[in-house]
Amino acid sequence: MASERTQPKPPIDPVRWQPPPVDPLPDLPSADLTVIPLPGNAPEDVVVHADGAIWAGVDDGRILRITPGGGDPVVVTTTEGRPLGMHVAHDGRILVCTSPGGLLSLDPASGTVETLVADVDDRRLMFCSNVTQSPDGTIYFTESTSAFDYAHFKGAVMEARPRGSLFRRDADGTVLTAVAGLYFANGVTPTADGSALVFAETMGRGLSKFWLTGERAGSVTPLRKNLPGHPDNLSTGADGRIWCAMVSPLNAAAEWLAPRWPAMRKLLWKLPDKLQPQIKPEVWAVAFDPETGDVVAGIRCEHPRFGMVTGLVESEGRLWMGSIGFPAVAHVDIASLSLR
């Protein structure tokens, strides 16, 4: 697969956009991380299988199985696109978002990969970002933007257009749009009671609920708005709390540019990546109450060998984290992260 450095940049069509205001979060504890190096870079998401193994995908397309107790990670298969969000389905398959590529299904025993969704609305699925299942087995997945693939995700940020969506895939393969017009749709996870899905908008800097049951079914309500950083993948904890990977704090230059002349961002997009606004590598994850949106746990610190948290999952008293900035995953004791 061609890398971001060798792919020609597609043009962008930016608009003036006013970023959301900022509501501070409570101070979060630091904690001792255990960092596990991987034979590959940038494991964007992590999931835990029924046998306790941790699964992650690295940026060259390989899917790895990691034994929590030690031992070298095992390469199970290789996808054509870059693996992003993942989810362990009710039947044990691992659902994998890839960009480019689409939504895949992986048999963890054989390594066989099947494409579930490659096209939506008579076009190629560009940026399949994260995936989950509702209690009845229906698959829901996000597309961050319909205009760019992962290699050019900064183009979507610079455009500041709401080109993201939440989609539903029914058992017969039909794909329908559940929510459109999202600002870089990203993580998605069900509430513990199955009444709603929580999804993240990375640019919109908020978490929202898409209701599955009751009088509000089919509607969207906010859970937490005006975050002081950019939310990425989500997962549901054992007590129902919603874990959110915070990939980065706000970038002052990007915030300043957004509401100003679009032509400035067109020029900036043409510059080498190193001259564009960069992500600060922090270890940052927050757990929210699924009803109130209050912060109930979290971590925020810096580590020389880990940061830019993009995926996370609870397993056996640990919070496992993935990253787009380091060739490693990490875990931390969940008990050390509680605020109450």
Q: How far apart are CA 91 and CA 94, in angstroms?
A: 9
The whole-number pLDDT of residue 267 equals: 93
Burial label, 58 (beta-carbon count in 10 A; 0-12, 13-18, 19+)? buried
Q: How far is CA 190 from CA 44, 193, 252, 291, 300, in A?
A: 20, 8, 33, 12, 24
Could you tell me which of 46, 34, 36 has the C-alpha nearest to residue 71?
36
**How many Cα neighbours within 13 Å face the side chain of 127?**
22
Q: How far apart are CA 313 and CA 4, in angstroms?
A: 28
The whole-number pLDDT of residue 4 equals: 41
The whole-number pLDDT of residue 152 equals: 94
The structure's pTM equals 0.96
The whole-number pLDDT of residue 340 equals: 65
Can you tell me which residue has the tokens 């190629």? 124
Question: Please, which pLDDT band fits residue 1 given cuts at 50, 70 and 90?
Answer: very low
Question: Please, which pLDDT band fits residue 321 given cuts at 50, 70 and 90?
Answer: very high
216-232 average pLDDT score: 98
4-15 average pLDDT score: 80
Q: Residue 241 pLDDT more than 70? A: yes
253-271 average pLDDT score: 92
Q: How far apart are CA 165 and CA 242, in angstroms?
A: 20
The whole-number pLDDT of residue 224 equals: 98
The whole-number pLDDT of residue 6 equals: 54
DSSP character at residue 10: P
Q: Is 157 helix (H, G, I), strand (E, B) or coil?
A: helix
Could you tell me which of 247, 238, 175, 178 has the C-alpha nearest to residue 208?
178
- Chain-wide mean pLDDT for the chain? 95
Exposure b/e, 160-172, CB count within 10 A at least 16 = b = bbbbbbbbbbeee
Q: Residue 164 pLDDT more than 50? A: yes
312-340 average pLDDT score: 95
DSSP character at residue 306: B
In the chain, the domains with their CATH numbers are: 34-336 (2.120.10.30)
What values do phi and psi take at 221, rounded to 5? -130, 150
Contacts of 327 (CB under 8 A, 6+ apart): 37, 38, 39, 40, 41, 42, 58
Can you tell me which residue has the tokens 């990203």? 186
Q: What is the CA radius of gyration of the chain?
A: 18
Question: Please, which pLDDT band fits residue 55 given cuts at 50, 70 and 90?
Answer: very high
Instruction: Mean pLDDT check: name the lowest of 66-70, 71-75, 187-191.
Output: 66-70
Residue 251 vs residue 165, higher pLDDT: 165
How many residues belong to the chain?
A: 340
Interval 99-152: pLDDT, tens: 999 999 999 999 999 999 999 999 999 999 999 999 999 999 999 999 999 999
Q: Residue 296 pLDDT more than 80? A: yes
Burial label, 29 (beta-carbon count in 10 A; 0-12, 13-18, 19+)? middle
- Asked if residues 189 and 88 have their Cβ atoms less than 8 Å apart, the reply is no
